[in-house]
Amino acid sequence: MMTFPTPPTFLRSVFQKRVPVVCGLVLTALLGKTEVLAQDSLASRQLDAVVVTATRSERALSDLPVPVTVIPQQQIKNMGSLRLNDVLAEQTGLAIVSDHGTGIQMQGFAPEYTLILIDGEPLIGRTSGTLELNRIAVGNIRQVEIMKGPSSSLYGSEALAGVINIITDRPSGTNGTFSARYGSNQTADFSGSLNYQTKKLGLYGFANRYSTDGYDLSPETQGKTVSPFINYTYQLRAGYEFSKRVRLSLSGRYFTEAQTSITDIGTTGTPVLLDGKGNVKDWNLNPVVYVNVSDKFKTTLRFYNSKYSTTSTLNYQSDGVVYDDTFFDQTFTRPEVQGEYFFNSKNVVTLGVGRIWESVEATRYDAKMKYQTDYAYAQYEWQPLTKLNLLIGGRFDHHSAYGSQFSPKLSAQYEVNRWLGVRGSFGMGFKAPDFRQLYLNFTNSTVGYTVLGSQELVAGIAQLQAQGQIDQMLADPASFGEIKAESSRAYNLGFKLQPYKKTSVSINAFRNDIKDIIDTKPVARKINGQFVYSYYNLAKVYTQGLELDAVHTLTEAMTLSLGYQYLVAKDKSVVDELKAGNVYARDPETNITRRVKPSEYGGLFNRSRHMVNAKAFYNHSATGWSATLRAIYRGRYGFADMNNNTILDDDSEYVKGYVTLNISVAKTFRKSLRLQAGCDNLFNYTDPQYIPSVPGRLLWASVAYTFSAKDKSTNK
Amino acid sequence: MNYRTKLNVALLFFASLTISACNDDDDKAPVKLTATEVKDLNSESATKFTLFNFKNNAVVANTDSVSTKWDIGFRGTTLILNGGISGPGQAQGQIVSGIFDELTEAPESGFASDAAAGKAITGSNGWYTYTGTTSVPNHAILPIAGKIIVVKTADGKYAKLEIISYYKGNPSTTTAEFADLATRPLGRYFTFRFIYQPDGTRNFEMTTE
């Protein structure tokens, strides 16, 4: 048991102590399996990891009818990743996209459609829908779980493309770690953690300081591509076992970031410089009580409270006069009760109810805006045949501002034989209109356009009219109507293959049909020539594709993996217009109009048809050496319309595909001192015009030290 | 002025066509209509419209604004037609989606005059889009592909017109040179092509005049 690769504490505590009592067959079977495979290679270990994202309770990955990717701590360490975006950038089917921050694109969905959780609770604080992944340090992460396909049946809004659940470390043994890393762009990272554990009490503390000088891909202009910033992350976690049946877990996280920038708002030759200061803070508190009412009935009481706030000021460099000063405060509070009933080894039912209070107060809103969601969910895990697993679930959400949603999901897995498993799922997902889509009342101070949320539209237009700011109405505000949630239907069908003992392959085909996508269009023209925009439901979009993951264990120490995603994402109305011959383009040289053929349509912008990753992991525990080599290819993707027909159809509208190659080497001495060095983006690929988010080559080196009271907790 | 010499050449060509057509006047054999291209029509004035007459393919002096000598006027992105609130004529217009060469006949209905509530030919998101700050090229006026302006002229004839460029010299708008505001050619210079049907029918292919 001591040699188990991922921290086994929770497994021990949940399964060993209680499970044999709680419910016999299924879970002891799970435990048996994990123990057997714990000795095996990285690949099979991963296959039998324990995940919580799929059912909201700990389950063995191999028994789940839905595909979940698990990235264990060891792999994150070997890669030398510091922030969550570093980790996700290298996973199959995920693309890092930059839109008001660094976000993730999953199954062709924009970042706002992926729910990001920390220990099962949602992270808040999105800018134009993007949750900045750089906010999340990975030094305290035990594993990252990625579940693709809609999961609104468990998680409600936002879980349309999928869910990324960050599982943080828990108290395990009595020990501590300290690590320091320095690299290109004066990027410095310091992390420390402390663990203390007695029979009943467990404490875990983590602190991280990350700072960078940023980088500048276009030195001829004022300001940097990424401005310098410093951030701190603190996490505390306490666990206490009151009795065999009652356990408490309390965790809190605090994050703060400060950034300074220089912006030029002048014209060429006559710069007008602004000094910018930005601050981001977010914190959350999450007490959870686990009560095992009986051997068959387990309950979990969760409470989660989170706040996210930013401030940003811009001052003229010349005289310090304020140019712009904004703030944004968001809160999220959620109590939830969950009950899990084990009828027998083949029937498990989970029920949950909860309420969410959310509020936003910001420069761009008239007043403090609030809304509330009540929800209930149910889930049935059923094993009607030895080889057949079913997962049936549904969730009902009632929202105070726009109505209610029901999201069902059905998944099944059939083990055809020892080397072949088939699994499929159907699910519905939704994304509620967010605060800005409902309540925004914003006028851009430099350009002068106005954006009104759907609830503000009628009053906002009336106000602008009264002020004499409207030149001409372009649409009837009433025609925008009540805004609805965006919703999707998703189909997934996949195979798990193990043709050879040391090779495993998983293939998954997916199709998502999304309707009522919220878009903006102009309502009126203002006297300054700019427009008033508002939100409305319009577009129907589909994304479909194929994903493949193959892992081969070459030797005990060497693992090779290959990942590939093929993706098509298109706007259905554009497809129809193209078929009808109603889409035109201008020849970029002569500017003469021609008709666009359906085959020329490249689909939605910013989606790569092909994405590939190939990785080699070497991990030799006897000598303490480990190394990684990872190549990530992102195929060409649409950037912006250049021939003025709003769609992606011309070669000039694509960003070229590119490869980044990352390497790292580490040596561990006496299982406690670890030296590591690496290089990200070895070929120094940059594209300042189209991909400012990719810095050049980054070199780094780090040192980490682990000490422990009793030599039992450190891995390996 | 560059465009004037070009206009004159075009005018000569057009005149010779008309003359040759007149020679065969007796049997009125239909003649194929061809498009005329006008290059770099200057609409730089912020106050006065540059007025244009389709029949003569010529700019009309602004002093004649209160006459029916002109059909369409240009001032920056604003297009006016000689009718309604814009002039004493009967001109009306509409924007039709399609390919210029494929539009063989003017629509029977759907024409509007310039009014206080809006011009017959809508500017932004009518015949052009303004790229703003978010897309490349920034702050550019780009004519929307597949938009044909159909005009019922001041004297009740039909013309169709496609705006090709808003920038001097009809530059490619996909180059880095165009994207850079410092090197972008001057705006408010229209390049467009048109077909004017002198015989009063809605046909844009053949004429009997």
Stronger pLDDT, B143 or A354, i.e. the higher one = A354
Confidence tier at A44 by pLDDT (50, 70, 90): very low
On chain B, the residues whose CB falls within 8 A of the CB of A100 are none
What pLDDT, on a 0 to 100 scale, did the predictor assign at position A551? 95
Residue A506 clears pLDDT 80, i.e. is over it? yes
Query: What pTM was estimated for this model as a whole?
Result: 0.82
User: What distance in Å separates the CA atoms of residue B151 and residue B202, rounded to the nearest whole number?
Assistant: 10
Minimal C-alpha gap between A380 and chain B (Å): 47
What pLDDT, on a 0 to 100 scale, did the predictor assign at position B133? 64
Average pLDDT, chain A: 87
Distances (CA, A) of A252 to A204, A262, B165: 11, 34, 60
Residue with tokens 């580490």: A666
User: What is the CB neighbour count within 10 angstroms for residue B18?
Assistant: 14
What pLDDT, on a 0 to 100 scale, did the predictor assign at position A470? 86
Residue A90 clears pLDDT 50, i.e. is over it? yes
Q: What is the DSSP string of A565-601?
A: EEEEEEEHHHHHHHHTT--EEE-TTT--EEEPPGGG-
What pLDDT, on a 0 to 100 scale, did the predictor assign at position A630? 97
Mean pLDDT value across residues A461-474: 85
Stronger pLDDT, A24 or B168, i.e. the higher one = B168
Q: Is the CB of B170 less than 8 angstroms away from the CB of A591?
A: yes
Stronger pLDDT, B46 or A645, i.e. the higher one = B46
What pLDDT, on a 0 to 100 scale, did the predictor assign at position A498? 92
Confidence tier at A650 by pLDDT (50, 70, 90): confident
Stated length of chain B:
209
What pLDDT, on a 0 to 100 scale, did the predictor assign at position A271? 82
Residue A406 clears pLDDT 90, i.e. is over it? yes
* Residue B108 DSSP symbol: S
Please name the helix (run of DSSP H) or strand (run of DSSP E) that holds residue B19, with its range, or none.
helix B2-23
Burial of A107 from C-beta contacts in 10 A (0-12 / 13-18 / 19+): buried
What pLDDT, on a 0 to 100 scale, did the predictor assign at position A520? 79
On chain A, the residues whose CB falls within 8 A of the CB of B46 are none
The closest of A427, A429, A561, A420 to A494, measured between CA atoms, is: A420
Residue A29 clears pLDDT 80, i.e. is over it? no
Mean pLDDT value across residues A413-422: 93
What pLDDT, on a 0 to 100 scale, did the predictor assign at position A6? 34
* Minimum mean pLDDT range among A39-48, A181-190, A366-375, A505-514: A39-48
Residue A4 clears pLDDT 70, i.e. is over it? no
Q: Helix or strand or coil: residue A65?
A: coil
What pLDDT, on a 0 to 100 scale, did the predictor assign at position A263? 82
Distances (CA, A) of A314 to A187, A257, A495: 25, 17, 54
What pLDDT, on a 0 to 100 scale, did the predictor assign at position B8? 62
* Minimum mean pLDDT range among A35-39, A115-119, B126-130, B151-155: A35-39
Residue A634 clears pLDDT 90, i.e. is over it? yes
Residue B100 clears pLDDT 50, i.e. is over it? yes
Minimal C-alpha gap between B101 and chain A (Å): 10
What pLDDT, on a 0 to 100 scale, did the predictor assign at position A42? 39
Determine contact: B68 vs chain A, CB below 8 A.
no
Residue A667 clears pLDDT 50, i.e. is over it? yes
Q: Pick from A447, A474, A645: which is nearest to B145 by CB?
A: A645
Mean pLDDT value across residues A485-500: 93
For residue range A100-156, what is the model confidence (pLDDT) as tens digits?
Answer: 889 999 999 999 999 999 999 999 998 888 899 999 999 999 999 999 999 999 999
What pLDDT, on a 0 to 100 scale, did the predictor assign at position A181? 97
Mutation for testing the B interface, residue in A586, A652, A654 having most B CBs under 10 Å: A586
Average pLDDT, chain B: 84
Q: ipTM of the predicted structure?
A: 0.74
Q: Pick from A472, A474, A595: which is nearest to B99 by CB?
A: A595
